[in-house]
Each structure stands twice: as C-alpha cells, then as structure tokens.
Structure 1
C-alpha cells in the first residue's frame, strides 16, 4: 500500500525531539498560548518574512479573524474562488460578508486575475486568493487591482507553507496571510492549529484581541472576541517541525519532479508552475478524463490516490443560498471532474513514485486499447 500521505513516517523521524517537547509543554502547565506558542510565532513570522504572526486554533479561525481585523463585515463582499476547501467560504460568511466567486486560471488552477475587476461592486471590501495545492496565485496583478479599488488582500495560504512568488513568501504579499496547521499540511500540528501573518501592527493587535475573548488584559474585554487560541502543546510540536520544514519541502519538490519526468509521456494534464513561483506541492494533482474510474483502479492496486475537491464550493448543498448554478464557473467545474491527487510526502520513496506512475500507465494504455 502506498498511502496518500504518511504521518507516521514523519513522526518516527522526529519522535525523540517531539516527545520531549510535548512533555516539556505539559510539565510547564502552559496549556493555552504561553512561551511555546510565542516562540513559534516568532519563528514562523521570520520564515514568512513578515513582522507579526498570531497563532490560533485552526486555519478557519485564521481566515475569520483576518477578515474581522481588516474590517470586513455584514453587507461587504469578498472576491475569491470556489476551487478550494469550504473553510474559505465559511470564514467569509462567519464575518457576515458575502463570497463572490470568480473562475480560475487554466494553467495554475488558482484565481484568474483577469476575472476579478468585473466582479467588483460598491460592496466589495476584499480579495481572498487561494494558493491551491501549494502554488501561489498570480499576486502582482491582484495587488494592483486591490490598490486601484482600495481593497484589502487576504491570502489563503493554508496549503502553501514555504511557497514563494517572485522571491516573496506566501502570506507576505497581501495585507494579511492565513495558514492552517492541520496534521496533513506541509507544516502540521498534532491536532488543529492556524496562524495569521501580517506586516501591519494594527492588524496583528486586532487578531491578538479577537483570538482571546477581546481581552486587552485579563478580564478587561475591550472588543467582543472568540476563543481561538492555540494550545501550548501545538506550539511545542510546531517549534520542533520548524527545524525540518525546508528539508521536507525540498523532498516534496523532488517527489514532484520525479512525477513530472515520469508522467511526461502520459496523456494527463500536470501542474505547470510559472518559473517565478516556488510550488511546495501540498497536493500533486493531475487532470484526466475518466477520473473516477482511474481512482477506483488505483485504489484497487494499493495506491492511496484521492480527489481535491470533487464538488466545488459554489455547487455544494450547504451554500445553495448563495445562488450559484451549474455553468457559472465552467473551468472550475470542469477541473473538479478531472482532478486526481497522487501520493506526495517527503518520505515517499523513488520506487513508490515509479509504482504509482506504472499503475497510471497501465490504466491509460488499457483505456486507449
């Protein structure tokens, strides 16, 4: 069996250090926020090349608080994409705003800047590009549009730890950047976790207040807030993992490069990151016809392939009240029927990549016959 990801293999690599860190965090009795979280915030801010990082309890909470810190609220609109996990949309709705979806670029599969300006109205307050699969959206034109129209840009970088665009780190280009540390992410906690990064001190202060019940000091609540604090144990785990994030990222990129080479002769659409982008391959997705049958046959062969994401957000039953219909976002909808995610993680052996592609080749040529 070749799994989609292998968290056990990663844990075995760092087990002595991470076990010690967890025990240290428990012994300190600093179970919520505390020095481990503060240390991680400092390190992750430096990694993202920003001035401030505020750790929270999930990537969804990070998006929610970033929106609130930026002043997004009821009656506002936020332009984003439907080719994403539902948390992007949910966070916009939590803020009281309305998500406005635009279609994606056919090459990068991220938000197409050419579609943004037509979606701007008098109610538009923010743009939320999603860095899908570990590849950053085309940020320069997005920032130019935002500047022309006086909009805030909030990067959904939940899948893009360590990604870069023209030498600039994910989360550092927009007004705020939001990350998830869900266990399966490239930088994953041992439970839920997230962070907001920014270069603006006022935004960082607002997030600090909002994550901790709006408290300026204990029992001094200056704004209505939330219980969105990061646990100390998660800070301890993430502190250890910060020592390995670049090593793991380069290993993932090496796996992706092997896939690129081996898949070149097969009739599948593969990721095509621009030369100015550092893709960190949270997901290695290909696009192909007969996706569901291919997935079934790969799984029968012991290959842990998966789909990210089979139903775009605008067609999910939970968000039907937004009023979107089949055909509104044609490229998003087409790719949702074609995407197939292949196993990718730092510990994936070269021979396992060969086996995945061998099985794909068998399926492709069998279908051709």
Structure 2
C-alpha cells in the first residue's frame, strides 16, 4: 500500500481555488443584501435552471433526497402504493419512496448499469403508481421504453437525475423527460454547491405549485398552511453559487467527457468500459469499469497511490433497512453479477493529463 495518494478520486479544493475570487464576491453580495432565504437569488437560479433543462419550472430544495420525497408526496403517492426504481442506485432512491409510506420495488438493470425496462414491465402491479429511473453515472436511462410502459399503465415517471446535470437523451436534456425530475447539488456532483442542495424540474404547473408549498411547510402565506410539508429550501448563498456554476457546467462536463473518452480508448482491451449510446450524451459523473479480479485490481491501484471506489458496494435490495419491504420472488441477477465487477476510477474536471495517464498505466500494468 502506498503511503501517498498520487491521484485522488476527486479534489474539490482545486475547483474552489479556480473560482475563489468570484465565490468570495458572491458571498459578500448575498451577505450584504440581508436576504438569506427564499429571495431573489433562489428565484434567479430556478428560472435559469429551468431554461437549461428546457422546462417551464424548477424548484430549489435542501437536497435531492428531499426533492424526490417532495415530488412523490406532491403526486399523492403514499401508503399502499408501489414505486419501481433501480436496485443499484444510492440508497436515497429507495429511501425517498419509503419516506412517503410507499413501497420501493427494485428492478434489475442492463449491462450499461441503468434500469432494465423489461424488468420494470414485469414488476408492474395494480399498486404501482410511478417509475423512478436513475440516470446512473450521468448516463441517461432508456426513457422511450419506460414511457411506453408508463403510458400503458397510467404511471408517473420521476427521473432521479441526481448524477446527470447536462446529460441528454435523443437531443433533449434530462429533467424534462418525465413528469418530474430531481437533481443533486451535493459537492460530489458535476454541478455542486458548498453543502447540500437539490433541484426539482417539471413541465406541470400543478406539480410545481404543490412542490413549492411542500418545501416550505405547506404554506401559502406566512400564517396559512394548506398541506403537511417540510423545511427544505435552497438558501440564497447556495442558490447564487449554483447560478454561477450553471454558467460553467457545459465546459466542466466536456472535461469529464474528455477524461472518460481517454480512459475508454486506452482501457477497452483490459476491462469493460462504459458504452455511450448513439442517442445519448453522458456527463460521466462517475467513470465505472467492470473488471475481472476487481478486488485485486483495487488493491493494486491503492499500492500505486491511486484512489478508487466501489459505487455502490451493496444493492439497495441488499440493505438491511429494506429487508421487510422486499418480495423475495423479485430477483435482480444482472445487478448482482455486475456489482461484483464494478470499480470507479478517479474523474474530476481539474484532473491533470499526467494523473489520467497514471491511472491508465496502473490498470494496464495490472493486466499485463
């Protein structure tokens, strides 16, 4: 094991330093305004983010997990209902469903790590109310196939786009491909703020107005609450930072893509590399390979001073918290097999060409 990490998974400080002067000025501007919650900075961000996703409405929230739960609640989904989502996502996808009292049903995946529409179709029951596809790693799911299932069974589609700001499917931005979508602004995401944050997008004025109320205690004015809600607002400083970074996101995403394509070109003879479909534009929030002898490769990379991660070590349907909710007859064999092989390599826009080469050389050395 190397005592020194030569290549980290991510280095958030590098991006902060590159934007530091502008970020300090943003903090000063918001600080001097005296308005820190639910003000003009949030309204500006919501308008610009909606325009970016080519939808009429966006709602800033405290985090993406809250955003998913707010959308589910706003759609009237709750106890006795089922929502189908991907087994291999982060636990928040299942947790948001359980939080509103509904039952998460975990579908299998395809080799590209995204939810398998065939598995989804087999899991629809009379209790199913929505499908929650996850655009995992920034690669859009097969939305046409999922929309066909949703239309056949009168289901809602909620995009879990936490990892996919800027990704596109058949020329359209994710965030406008379903009835609603939720993005994360967590520091590990391509578009991030300095703490937690999230955004809901939708084309529906009804969903928009309901989510606006739910995120702020169900209030329609300072003293009148018309529904049970929560406190989940994106504050003014974070909204201002998000607006600033939204102007940079296409350039940042292009750097993610350049590093990913470099990896794919050099590593495809050693490992299974991500395959970008002809009709999608992936933003490579994570660069995930599928590798023989994955655990040994991970140890080798560490010995070379290169950080790697398994995202995620357990499927959601393997988590203890969800055991009592699961139908034992529902199996996810592809997700189980793939999950034993996945490994995330370092990728972030400030990563140097030398660091990228070091990662490539270490993987090639292991398999040589």
In which range does the TM-score fall when normalised by the shorter chain? over 0.9
Which secondary structure does the structure 2 equivalent of 1:225 belong to?
A: coil
Whether the 8 Å contact between 2:105 and 2:326 is mirrored in structure 1 is: no
> Do residues 64 (structure 1) and 84 (structure 2) align?
no
In the TM superposition, 1:109-120 aligns within 5 A as 109-120=113-124
In the alignment, the residues of structure 2 paired with residue 339 and residue 230 of structure 1 have an alpha-carbon distance, to the nearest angstrom, of 34
> Do residues 42 (structure 1) and 20 (structure 2) align?
no
Residue 131 of structure 2 corresponds to 127
In the alignment, the residues of structure 2 paired with residue 121 and residue 326 of structure 1 have an alpha-carbon distance, to the nearest angstrom, of 14
In the alignment, the residues of structure 1 paired with residue 329 and residue 287 of structure 2 have an alpha-carbon distance, to the nearest angstrom, of 26
TM superposition score normalised by structure 1: 0.96
Q: CA deviation at 1:327?
A: 8.7
Q: CA deviation at 1:294?
A: 1.2
Q: CA deviation at 1:326?
A: 10
**Quick one: structure 1 residues 148 and 316, their matched pair in 2 at CA, closer, same or farther if it must change by over 3 Å?**
same
In the TM superposition, 1:55-94 aligns within 5 A as 55-94=60-99
Residue 148 of structure 2 corresponds to 144
Whether the 8 Å contact between 2:257 and 2:284 is mirrored in structure 1 is: yes
Structure 1 residues 249-277: Cα deviation after superposition (integer angstroms, max 9, x where no partner):
011101111111111222x1110111100
Q: CA deviation at 1:248?
A: 0.3
Residue 100 of structure 2 corresponds to 95
Q: CA deviation at 1:217?
A: 0.8
Whether the 8 Å contact between 1:291 and 1:340 is mirrored in structure 2 is: yes
Residue 315 of structure 2 corresponds to 312
Residue 161 of structure 1 corresponds to 165
Question: Unmatched 5+ residue regions in structure 2?
Answer: 1-5
> Do residues 240 (structure 1) and 240 (structure 2) align?
no
Which secondary structure does the structure 1 equivalent of 2:275 belong to?
A: coil
In the alignment, the residues of structure 1 paired with residue 351 and residue 152 of structure 2 have an alpha-carbon distance, to the nearest angstrom, of 45
Which secondary structure does the structure 2 equivalent of 1:42 belong to?
A: helix
Structure 1 residues 134-187: Cα deviation after superposition (integer angstroms, max 9, x where no partner):
001000010111011100000000000000000011110100000110011000
CA RMSD of aligned residues (A): 1.2
Match of 1:220 among 204, 212, 224: 224
Counting matched residue pairs gives 363
Which secondary structure does the structure 2 equivalent of 1:40 belong to?
A: helix
Structure 1 residues 263-298: Cα deviation after superposition (integer angstroms, max 9, x where no partner):
1222x1110111100000000000112212211221
Residue 302 of structure 1 corresponds to 305
Q: CA deviation at 1:28?
A: 1.6
In the alignment, the residues of structure 2 paired with residue 274 and residue 176 of structure 1 have an alpha-carbon distance, to the nearest angstrom, of 23
With 320-329 and 50-59 compared, the bigger mean Cα shift is at 320-329
Residue 28 of structure 1 corresponds to 33
Which secondary structure does the structure 2 equivalent of 1:79 belong to?
A: strand
Whether the 8 Å contact between 1:314 and 1:322 is mirrored in structure 2 is: no
Q: CA deviation at 1:351?
A: 2.0
TM superposition score normalised by structure 2: 0.96
Q: CA deviation at 1:325?
A: 5.7
Whether the 8 Å contact between 1:315 and 1:324 is mirrored in structure 2 is: no
Match of 1:9 among 7, 11, 14: 14
Question: Unmatched 5+ residue regions in structure 1?
Answer: none
Q: CA deviation at 1:230?
A: 1.0
Which secondary structure does the structure 2 equivalent of 1:116 belong to?
A: helix
Which secondary structure does the structure 1 equivalent of 2:230 belong to?
A: coil
Structure 1 residues 325-361: Cα deviation after superposition (integer angstroms, max 9, x where no partner):
6992111111111110001111111221111010111
